[in-house]
Amino acid sequence: MNTIKITLLAFKKNTFTFILVIAQLAVLFLAENYMVSALVEREMQFSPFKPVFNENTAFVYDSEYVKNAAMLGIDSKASREMLLCEIKDEYKIYDVMSFTNGEYTVYSVSDDIYASLALPLAFGNYGSAVGSFGTPAGEKEIFFPDGTDLKLETSGALTASTYIPTMMSLSSQDMTAGDFYYTSVNERNIILTNRSSIGGYEQHFRLSSGFLIEFKSDTARNFEALKGVALTVPTTEIAENTNKALKKDLLKFIPLVGTVLIIVIIGIICISIIIFKESERRNAVLWICGYSRAGIIGVQTVGIALMTALSVIISLATYGLLKISGNEMVIGINLTFENFIVTFITCMLLSAISSVVPALKCRKVSPAEYIRRAL
Amino acid sequence: MIELKNITKIYNSKKQYCFQALNGISFAVNDGDFCAIIGKSGSGKSTLLHIIGMLDTFSSGEYFFDKTDVSKLNERTVSKIRARSIGFVKQDFALIDEYSVLDNVMIPLYPIRSAEKKKKALSAIEKLGILKLANKYVSQLSGGEKQRVAIARAIVNEPSIILADEPTGSLDSKTAADIMSVFKRLNDEGKTVIIVTHDMGVANQCERIIEISDGEIVSQ
């Protein structure tokens, strides 16, 4: 308690310096979390797609325009057929969902609504990424369990360059497979697969309003219809391409990672020295008053720990504010477990260095000499 | 009781530019003594005071504090002895300006519980006649008031020995006389007081004078 009080009183002495140091620390934590987020994101965005890449996966592109004034749930064959008959160009399919009872739902929206549903494409090169899925169009018929046909235009063959694109500065924690496709184009991609290939990701795709069409009864027919376009590239190749793309992207990212790391290390050392210099007179007085060398270093460490805690709170609050205002993607930070661990390690490092710096400084100096210099 | 036997202090002993600050210092200070160490600037009197106060080590010789050989003590024990038995008063007061008087006086009381700490600190402040200044910041005080705060801090742990390094050096003659009367009163209460000074007027108010020159005792 006493050491905390001494620290708080020291803050009072040089309020401006300490505010500056705390702000610097907060920025440092944000920068560091950004770095970790960006690294972790690369794996995160790829992992949901890994299980989908198998021989039963097909990527198709819809060109069916369904007229609907708003989102519609269609649960009877008659209305479905009526709807499909009234397809007009200004509406686009928003979602197609099938249910275990054999029913399916088609959601369609106008261009305006569709545009507002799409995530803002603030950063990244999604256009080229989408292009990698191939574009040569070809109309294919999809057979639904109840016998209804829906004509879809395939995106074309998966090419040797197909990969899951990286999404710089897009919050992957909030990103779903559906989002992944929303960001792609004004035209839609649909993942077609069977239940077993989706596995545990089924709910994930459903919740994300992903374009999942489940083949329940006509799997063989559907794949027969699609095999010419969907199975031309082994899925392992897509995974390899994605890994290559991730590595390439990571290489571009290394200078930023390196710079942040250097800033973190220099920042920690500078902060430790600044705080120590600011505290020299106080430390001398503590020595006069009977504190031991270890006690003084302890006070120093508590001071740093307190400032670190304040900085973490500020950086979390900053993140929180950005999240509330919906701008967290601007800095691209996710509060993941990895971020927590890295921040925790940095805090420990900061405390350790802040103890080592005064310890080195005090090591060979007698209290008298220290007091003489400080007072 | 303090006993020094043949104490020497050499700075930078392993380097070419070593300097011998003390050479064969031997004397004893009994409990309740009121003692002045005088000498010119650079004579080694402050170094001697720091060694007595265990803020500095000596190169050779023996130092017994209450019959305990100080050279055999570890740093932690030395700190404990300093905190419990020795009070320091410095020429420049060595106070923390941004602390209040009360906070400054409470610094040496770190192992004690908060309520008791405040009680003890206020008692020491009252003893020095500056109770009304307790909540003021040190930066708002005059030199004489600051030195009283420094003395209050030095006695708050009720140490048996008070070491003062040029305690009147920064004060005008009237305030210096006031401060000396405080030391005299503390000595009357049974505390051992050792004052380092180059001012003969201050030294003459002490019961005993040890004069050092070039690191050696020339008279005591």
Report the amino acid identity of residue B22: L
- Is the pLDDT at B178 greater than 80? The verdict is yes
Same domain, residue pair A80 and A202: yes
- Is the pLDDT at B35 greater than 90? The verdict is yes
Distance CA A28, CA B85 (A): 45
What is the pLDDT, as a whole number, of residue A220? Answer: 54
Is A215 part of any domain?
Answer: yes
Paired tokens of B41: 């600037």
Summarize the confidence of residues B69-87 as an average pLDDT.
Answer: 88
- Is the pLDDT at A223 greater than 60? The verdict is no
Q: Please classify residue A193 by burial: count the beta carbons closer than 10 Å to its beta carbon, then call 0-12 exposed, 13-18 middle and 19+ buried.
A: buried
Which range among A68-72, A160-164, B151-155 shows the weakest confidence by mean pLDDT? A68-72
Q: Which residue has the higher pLDDT, A47 or B217?
A: B217
Is A288 part of any domain?
Answer: yes
- For residue B99, which of A283, A366, A231, A8 has the smallest C-alpha distance? A8
Residues in chain B, total = 220
Is A48 part of any domain?
Answer: no
Contact B37, B210 (CB under 8 A): yes
- For residue B169, which of B92, B89, B94, B97 has the smallest C-alpha distance? B92
Task: Please tell me the total count of domains within chain A.
Answer: 2
Contact B183, B18 (CB under 8 A): no
Same domain, residue pair A183 and A255: no
Same domain, residue pair A199 and A61: yes
What is the pLDDT, as a whole number, of residue A96? Answer: 43
Q: Give the Å distances, CA to CA, from B168 to A94, A301, B159, B174.
A: 88, 36, 21, 10
Summarize the confidence of residues B70-92 as an average pLDDT.
Answer: 88
Summarize the confidence of residues B36-46 as an average pLDDT.
Answer: 89
Distance CA A341, CA A171 (A): 19
Contact A180, A171 (CB under 8 A): no
Summarize the confidence of residues A142-170 as an average pLDDT.
Answer: 41
User: Domain of A90?
Assistant: 56-230
Quote the strand ranges of chain B, DSSP E. 2-11, 19-29, 34-38, 60-65, 68-69, 86-90, 161-165, 192-197, 208-213, 216-219
What is the pLDDT, as a whole number, of residue A39? Answer: 66
What is the pLDDT, as a whole number, of residue A236? Answer: 58
Which of A12, A284, A291 has the CB atom closest to B79's CB atom?
A: A291
Whether B56 and A285 lie within 8 Å, measured CB to CB: no
Specify which residues B195 forms β-bridges with: B36, B164
Average pLDDT, chain B: 88
Summarize the confidence of residues A16-38 as an average pLDDT.
Answer: 74
CA–CA min distance B108, chain A (Å): 5
DSSP letters along A59-112, please?
A: EEEE------SS-----SHHHHHHHHHT--TTEEEEEEEE-TTS-EEEEEEEHH
The 3-state DSSP class for residue B134 equals coil
State whether the Cα torsion B67-B71-B77-B81 is positive or negative.
Answer: positive
Greatest mean pLDDT range, A124-138, A161-175, A347-361, B44-58? B44-58
Distance CA A269, CA A355 (A): 11
Distance CA B164, CA B203 (A): 12
Contact B37, B30 (CB under 8 A): no
DSSP letters along B26-82, please?
A: EEEE-TT-EEEEE--TTSSHHHHHHHHTTSS--SEEEEEETTEEGGGS-HHHHHHHH
pLDDT bin (cut points 50, 70, 90) of residue B163 is very high
Paired tokens of A207: 């919740």
Task: Name the DSSP class of A52.
Answer: G
What is the pLDDT, as a whole number, of residue A158? Answer: 38
Q: Please classify residue A128 by burial: count the beta carbons closer than 10 Å to its beta carbon, then call 0-12 exposed, 13-18 middle and 19+ buried.
A: exposed
What is the pLDDT, as a whole number, of residue B42? Answer: 85
Give the number of other CB atoms < 10 A from CB of residue B67. 7
Same domain, residue pair A34 and A63: no
Is A60 part of any domain?
Answer: yes
Which range among A118-132, A275-289, B143-157, B190-204 shows the weakest confidence by mean pLDDT? A118-132
State whether the Cα torsion B78-A11-A318-A122 is positive or negative.
Answer: negative
Q: Which residue has the higher pLDDT, A249 or A296?
A: A296
Summarize the confidence of residues B90-112 as an average pLDDT.
Answer: 85
Paired tokens of B65: 């504090």
Is A79 part of any domain?
Answer: yes
- Closest residue on chain A to B164 (Cα): A288
What is the pLDDT, as a whole number, of residue A204? Answer: 40
| pLDDT, tens digit (0-9, with 9 covering 90-100), for A260-316 | 778 777 777 777 677 767 677 788 888 888 888 888 878 777 877 787 788 888 877
- Chain A interface mutation, best of B48, B81, B88, B96, highest count of A Cβ atoms under 10 Å: B96
Greatest mean pLDDT range, A21-30, A41-50, A308-317? A308-317
Whether B55 and A290 lie within 8 Å, measured CB to CB: no
Last residue of a domain, one of A230, A259, A274: A230
Q: Which residue has the higher pLDDT, B47 or B219?
A: B47
Is A299 part of any domain?
Answer: yes
- Is the pLDDT at A9 greater than 50? The verdict is yes
Specify which residues B89 forms β-bridges with: B164
Q: What are the chain A neighbours of B157 within 8 Å (beta carbons)?
A: 290
Same domain, residue pair A338 and A274: yes
Whether B79 and A295 lie within 8 Å, measured CB to CB: yes
Whether B79 and A9 lie within 8 Å, measured CB to CB: no
Whether B76 and A294 lie within 8 Å, measured CB to CB: yes
Q: What are the chain A neighbours of B76 within 8 Å (beta carbons)?
A: 292, 294
Report the amino acid identity of residue A364: K
Same domain, residue pair A183 and A257: no
- Chain A interface mutation, best of B110, B135, B165, highest count of A Cβ atoms under 10 Å: B110
CA–CA min distance A284, chain B (Å): 8
What is the pLDDT, as a whole number, of residue B38? Answer: 92
Tell how far CA B197 is from the center of its chain.
11
Give the number of other CB atoms < 10 A from CB of residue A187. 13
All residues at 6 or more sequence positions from B132 whose CB lies less than 8 Å from its CB, including other chains: none
Distance CA A59, CA A189 (A): 7
> Which residue shows structure tokens 């009357």?
B188
- Is the pLDDT at B168 greater than 60? The verdict is yes
Report the amino acid identity of residue A218: D
Greatest mean pLDDT range, A15-19, B14-18, B179-183? B179-183
> Which residue shows structure tokens 């402040």?
B125
| pLDDT, tens digit (0-9, with 9 covering 90-100), for B107-160 | 888 766 777 888 899 999 998 889 999 999 888 899 889 989 999 999 998 999
Same domain, residue pair A342 and A218: no
Same domain, residue pair A292 and A146: no
Which range among A203-207, A243-247, B4-8 shows the weakest confidence by mean pLDDT? A203-207
Summarize the confidence of residues A328-347 as an average pLDDT.
Answer: 66
pLDDT bin (cut points 50, 70, 90) of residue B86 is very high
Q: Which residue has the higher pLDDT, A336 or A47?
A: A336
Last residue of a domain, one of A167, A201, A230: A230
Same domain, residue pair A77 and A175: yes
Residue A188: what are its φ and ψ, rounded to 5°? -105, 145
Whether A12 and B95 lie within 8 Å, measured CB to CB: no
Last residue of a domain, one of A230, A256, A288: A230
Whether B94 and A285 lie within 8 Å, measured CB to CB: yes
Distance CA A280, CA A371 (A): 9
| pLDDT, tens digit (0-9, with 9 covering 90-100), for B46-65 | 899 999 999 888 889 999 99
Same domain, residue pair A77 and A133: yes
What is the pLDDT, as a whole number, of residue A211? Answer: 36
Residues in chain A, total = 375
Same domain, residue pair A85 and A122: yes
- Is the pLDDT at A254 greater than 90? The verdict is no
Which range among A3-7, A46-50, A128-132, B19-23 shows the weakest confidence by mean pLDDT? A128-132
Whether B83 and A367 lie within 8 Å, measured CB to CB: no
Is A328 part of any domain?
Answer: yes
pLDDT bin (cut points 50, 70, 90) of residue A178 is very low
Domains and CATH numbers, chain B: 2-219 (3.40.50.300)
Is A238 part of any domain?
Answer: no
Same domain, residue pair A216 and A278: no
What is the pLDDT, as a whole number, of residue A43? Answer: 59
What is the pLDDT, as a whole number, of residue A232? Answer: 39
Contact B104, B96 (CB under 8 A): yes
Q: Which residue has the higher pLDDT, B83 or A173?
A: B83
